[in-house]
Chains A and B, each alone.
Chain A
Amino acid sequence: MSYAFTPGLSVTKSTMIRKKRILPIPGDVHVKVGDTVVAEKIVAQTFVPNDIHMRPISYIVGCEPYELPKIMKFKQGDFIKEGDLMAETKSFFGLFHTEHYSKYTGTIELISTVTGMVAVREPPISVHLTSYIPGKIIEVTENLGVTIETHAAYIQGIFGIGGEQQGELMTIAEPDEVLTLDHITKECAGKILVGGSLVTADILRKASDFGVKGIVVGGLRRDDLNKYLGYEIGVAITGQEDINLTCIVTEGFGQMRMAGHIYTLLNSHNGKPASINGATQIRAGVIRPEIIIPLQDTKTTSEDETLTYGMVIGTRVRIIRQPYFGALGSVAELPIELQVVETESHVRVLKVKLEDGSLVTVPRANVEIME
């Protein structure tokens, strides 16, 4: 039997989620194994290096670079404050002075006797790392972070913008409904809104103004995305946008009905707290946006914790390209021979039995496995 290998997006009712929360550089971890934490808990903290400023001090005070150590009032590694006398030269038997006062506060990181440059690094910036999801600490990575475990429903979107957010899920529209400004009310503040086949830039702006934490929707036009962000996205690497609203698209660009199984799962948790992250990276390590809904019930379904490595007869798939975009079905046949499609290309195909009973032939590259 032919073997295919098409990763899909996770949509899981119940699974054990483990999140590794790691600082960018070593710091202090504030929790220990076995602790139970809320999503907002600061689990680790560190200081990251701040901006550094280099100035040609030997040129400024009029000396040779090799003379710097003699005329500097501070040594490499010393802390200096803005306005402190950094360097001083004297000439003509001490009659003339040239002084330089530091323009920055920070640590002297470099005094170069070759180039005459002096570098001052500003005091480090404190970085707090929150738990992001509620749960139990199951592992501490010394000086770096923790792993948190929680039992949750887990859904991956296809594309998102905005970073980590927490809030209550609030269903505001049916899966095929185009969202309007009227869907956004004062009651939406602090919530993660669910539903709809299309959201526009105006709605995203209004939601942001009303303090909405996130929107999970079927589709978004790229034009609206550009209008909302104020710039064009050229490659799908997101999550660092300077916005206070996270938007997760479950299907793709354009008006797209939210897939029934995703909508049903999200709607079944209406009113419950969730953690979301819009970060998406398609290249060099795929990251898809996610919705994590912590569960009280600790039972897990049989399919959780399994990665689908292959596609075989009966595998549930979703077609992800026209002319059958969004159609669900199961693999009926995996022919080995190349077949001709409408483009006249000879490609590897599979036959999919759709939910309405019809059988369609599509390129293997155009389906994703439903996990």
Chain B
Amino acid sequence: MELSDSKTNNLEIILATDCGSTTTKARLFKKIGSEYRFVCTGEAPTTVEAPFEDVTMGVRNAVREVEELMGIKILSENGIQIRHSSKDRGVDLYVTTSSAGGGLQMMVFGLTKSITGESCERAALGGGAIVMDTVSLEDGEPIYKKIQRTRHLRPDMVLLSGGTDGGNISDTVQAAEILKVSNPQARFGESFSLPVIFAGNVSARRPVENTLKDSFSLKIVDNLRPSVELENTDPARDAIQELFMEHVMSHAPGYNNLMKWTDVPIMPTPRGEGTMFQTVARMERINVIGVGLGGATTNIYSTFDGKFVRTVSANLGMSYSICNVLREATLENILRWIPFPMDPTDLDDILANKMIRPTTIPHSLEELIIEHAVAREALRLGLNHHKFLARGLRGAIPKKLIEDTFGDSSLLASYIDMLRVDLLGGTGGLLSHAPRRVQSSLMLIDGFQPEGVTRLIQDSVFMFPHLGVLSSVHPEIAYEVFDKDAVIRLGTCIAPKGRPENEEEEMLSIELHMPDGNIRTENLIFGDMMRIPLAVGEVIDAKINPHSKCDMGAGPGHELTTRIEGGEVGIIIDARGRPLVTPTDRETMKRALLKWLTHLQAYPEKNLKKYMELI
């Protein structure tokens, strides 16, 4: 969407909000001299739910904090004041993202789970949706079970696809018939028709339309899989955004008013968030993995060799769905990241209490460490989910591999190679609010296990979604604020892939040409971690020699000569090996964890010493 020149010129104050599932976050951007900067933040609980059921109340409260802190007047009885002639009050532009009330929840229908089903998922996730369920005609499940599943869901929208253009129409129409007889009801608004997007075989358009038009609000777009070798998710993704505004947002509590306040369409939070990670990858021409760790979901974004994929792992989050992380990760896996004595039953209860009181925050250091432990597991699970969808088109066999046998697993493997990831970034309340930057760095490293040389960044105060929606109308301003105020450059992680046979052996030696002219040499044995200060903006030369069984990107045992960037944390050398295998004995693991946390100064030293004494 383009705003008129009068709107985009001379913008001095811009207000952006994100209505999250837990908290509504307001961010104020201001033109200072000739540059745009982030100046203020305000937060308040989201009020999309009972007893308030009006999202604008939370927005007002978050903005009221901004008003208090800045000493300016933004709110009026009618909402956000947009400045016209008067310069005394109001803002020049107001934009917002939203994931409140569970975000955009979609159901997808495809003919085959691995071909159109996956393409449907990618399109829905690309549109910023959470995929509640995927129904495919040929997954072996009896039709009556598909109908039962579909009947009981209350999605915001359905995406239906199937068939290549000009191919057989019968199966595609059958999928439409299953959808019709299942008659799923929309989540919001009992009286309105559920939006359905058909992005399948062009030849099936008319019979699909005849089947669905009386029961649903049908929109037909180009086939997202026009041929087996081609995926075209953009038209479906754009339709999702359009229908999200027209049908879903307008029925969610209070959004009708919020839509009138904003200058541009409300954007789903994951879409806004992903836009900024995508921008970094495009501007720097690098491979990027980003994560938005939220209260209800974990959103992962990857740009690999120019290909962008977004996944939203519903029910992997740090508040509403924290017990689901516990269920999927298991207590043992969370306990391994906790360095003090912890009764598993107590841990269970602490997390369940967070689930039922999702807006509370850790007050004691122990509770903070527990949440960081859960975050590591949520990230690990989220990346596993992402890798499942970030892979080549199934069904399409590259010519050079035709001679390969059917079912060659290499065709189905994810193309995400952690050794080729240049940059790892994180956003979301828990990462952005981590009291020490090294804590968020460690969560990213432990959760994602980067390999080789990987730069780390994080969102300073959670504003990637805000900048994402702002970039839809004013990309220059969004990128300027992003570069100057949103991105915290944490530093660089150096982590060899592989591990020596003998755990006493040296894992790597590294030679760093420090900014003061000295050459610093370090040798790390397997299992060690080290933090070397290197300030933001400093870039140095390094020679890294890994163990013969380990790879830094130049091949096993081969020296890598590279440039290393500094950051608020500096350089983290992780010689724990990849894949990371943690000791199964709880006491041994606690000792190892405390060693890592102490070397990295991750938490206050006196507390870590106290925990060590308790072992």
A residues engaging B (CB < 8 A)?
2-3, 5-7, 49, 51-55, 65, 109-110, 112, 114-117, 119, 121, 158-159, 221-223, 225, 232-236, 252-254, 280, 282-287, 307, 309, 320-323, 336, 341-347, 362-363, 365-366, 368
The answer to whether B352 touches A365 (Cβ under 8 A) is no
Contacts of B352 in A (CB 8 A): 222, 225, 252-253
The answer to whether A223 touches B321 (Cβ under 8 A) is no
- CB-based closest 3 A-B pairs: A234-B324, A344-B435, A253-B352
Q: Jot down 26 A-B pairs with beta carbons below 8 A, ordered by A.
A: A3-B61, A6-B45, A51-B144, A52-B181, A54-B177, A54-B178, A65-B170, A112-B211, A222-B323, A222-B349, A234-B315, A234-B323, A236-B356, A253-B353, A254-B349, A282-B355, A283-B102, A284-B48, A320-B357, A322-B363, A336-B68, A342-B365, A343-B362, A346-B435, A365-B45, A365-B360
The answer to whether B323 touches A233 (Cβ under 8 A) is yes
With A and B bound together, what is the CA distance between A53 and B147 in angstroms?
8
Interface of A is mostly: loop
Select one of B52, B64, B321, B435 contacting A7, CB under 8 A.
Answer: B52
The answer to whether B52 touches A321 (Cβ under 8 A) is no
Q: How far is the CB of A344 from chain B (nearest CB, A)?
A: 4
The answer to whether B50 touches A287 (Cβ under 8 A) is yes
B33 at the interface (CB under 8 A from A): no
The answer to whether A7 touches B177 (Cβ under 8 A) is no
With A and B bound together, what is the CA distance between A121 and B356 in angstroms?
40
Q: How far is the CB of B51 from chain A (nearest CB, A)?
A: 6
The answer to whether B365 touches A343 (Cβ under 8 A) is yes
The answer to whether A54 touches B327 (Cβ under 8 A) is no
Which residues 387-432 of B have a CB within 8 angstroms of A?
none
The answer to whether A322 touches B367 (Cβ under 8 A) is yes
The answer to whether B174 touches A365 (Cβ under 8 A) is no
The answer to whether B357 touches A235 (Cβ under 8 A) is no
Q: How far is the CB of B309 from chain A (nearest CB, A)?
A: 25
Mark B332-353 against chain A: 1 for CB-CB distance below 8 A, else 0. Answer: 0000000000000110111111
Smallest CB gap from B105: residue in A: A284
The answer to whether B183 touches A253 (Cβ under 8 A) is no
Which residues 309-328 of B have a CB within 8 angstroms of A?
315, 320-321, 323-324, 326-328
The answer to whether B50 touches A286 (Cβ under 8 A) is yes
Chain B interface size band reads 35 or more
Contacts of A225 in B (CB 8 A): 352
Contacts of B436 in A (CB 8 A): 344
With A and B bound together, what is the CA distance between A90 and B5 in angstroms?
72
Supposing A7-B51, A121-B181 touch, asked if A114 and B207 sit within 8 A by C-beta, the answer is: yes
With A and B bound together, what is the CA distance between A223 and B326 in angstroms?
12
The answer to whether B355 touches A366 (Cβ under 8 A) is no
Smallest CB gap from B252: residue in A: A284
The answer to whether B361 touches A285 (Cβ under 8 A) is no
B519 at the interface (CB under 8 A from A): no
The answer to whether A221 touches B348 (Cβ under 8 A) is yes
Contacts of A232 in B (CB 8 A): 323, 327
Smallest CB gap from B328: residue in A: A234
Contacts of B328 in A (CB 8 A): 234
With A and B bound together, what is the CA distance between A321 and B371 in angstroms?
14
B93 at the interface (CB under 8 A from A): no
Supposing A6-B45, A253-B348, A254-B346 touch, asked if A235 and B324 sit within 8 A by C-beta, the answer is: yes
Smallest CB gap from A233: residue in B: B323
With A and B bound together, what is the CA distance between A342 and B435 in angstroms?
10
B residues engaging A (CB < 8 A)?
21, 44-45, 47-53, 57-58, 61, 64-65, 68-69, 101-102, 143-144, 147-148, 169-171, 173-174, 177-178, 180-183, 187, 207, 211, 296, 315, 320-321, 323-324, 326-328, 345-346, 348-353, 355-365, 367-368, 433, 435-436, 604
With A and B bound together, what is the CA distance between A342 and B607 in angstroms?
11
The answer to whether B364 touches A322 (Cβ under 8 A) is yes
The answer to whether B368 touches A5 (Cβ under 8 A) is no
With A and B bound together, what is the CA distance between A51 and B143 in angstroms?
11
The answer to whether B435 touches A345 (Cβ under 8 A) is yes
Q: How far is the CB of B316 from chain A (nearest CB, A)?
A: 10
Contacts of B65 in A (CB 8 A): 2
Smallest CB gap from A362: residue in B: B363
Smallest CB gap from A231: residue in B: B327
The answer to whether B58 touches A5 (Cβ under 8 A) is yes
Supposing A51-B147, A282-B320, A342-B363 touch, asked if A321 and B345 sit within 8 A by C-beta, the answer is: no
Supposing A284-B101, A285-B53, A345-B435 touch, asked if A158 and B365 sit within 8 A by C-beta, the answer is: no
The answer to whether B45 touches A7 (Cβ under 8 A) is yes
Smallest CB gap from B207: residue in A: A114
The answer to whether B353 touches A235 (Cβ under 8 A) is no
Contacts of B346 in A (CB 8 A): 254
With A and B bound together, what is the CA distance between A121 and B148 in angstroms?
12
The answer to whether B348 touches A223 (Cβ under 8 A) is yes
The answer to whether A363 touches B363 (Cβ under 8 A) is yes
Supposing A2-B68, A3-B64, A236-B355 touch, asked if A114 and B147 sit within 8 A by C-beta, the answer is: no
Contacts of A2 in B (CB 8 A): 65, 68
Supposing A54-B144, A234-B324, A235-B323 touch, asked if A366 and B364 sit within 8 A by C-beta, the answer is: no
Q: Give me 13 other A-B pairs in contact (C-beta within 8 A), A235-B320, A309-B57 excluded.
A: A51-B148, A52-B147, A54-B143, A117-B174, A222-B352, A234-B328, A280-B356, A282-B320, A283-B101, A322-B364, A323-B363, A362-B363, A365-B361
With A and B bound together, what is the CA distance between A235 and B345 in angstroms?
18
With A and B bound together, what is the CA distance between A110 and B183 in angstroms?
13
